[in-house]
Homo-oligomer: A and B are copies of this chain.
Amino acid sequence: MADKPQFTTEVLNLAKVAKALSHPVRIYILQKLSKMNSCCYSGNLVDELPVGRSTLSQHLKELKFAGLIQGEINPPYIKYCINRKNWEKAKKLLDDFLNDNQSADFSCYETKTV
């Protein structure tokens, strides 16, 4: 009964970023905010998305919690912008994961299988 290993923080962080991206609403928001230099009001987004206001609010909250966006209060609106710094970090993390095909110097079933 071998000890169960832990996940590396890299793997955990990758999964966390992927999770933040794992819903169409959140993809849409990030795509939009990262493409534009300006920001977005929740009230505008809601007309472009097939969900209600409160649901959108939750998705925004999740993205905020994941650090990928930030909201500036601009009463009575809240202006959402991409969090450039964290977005770049997340991108780098994913990018490395996707393109780190530095060939097989370790294998799997060579090591312990019949």
Contacts and interface: CB of A to CB of B under 8 A. Distances in A.
A14 B7 contact: no
A91 B21 CA distance: 14
Given A41-B113, A97-B31, A98-B94, A11 B24 contact: yes
A37 B109 contact: no
Interface residues of A, number: 56
A41 B108 contact: yes
A50 B7 contact: yes
A35 B108 contact: no
A27 B14 contact: yes
A5 B48 contact: yes
A4 B109 contact: no
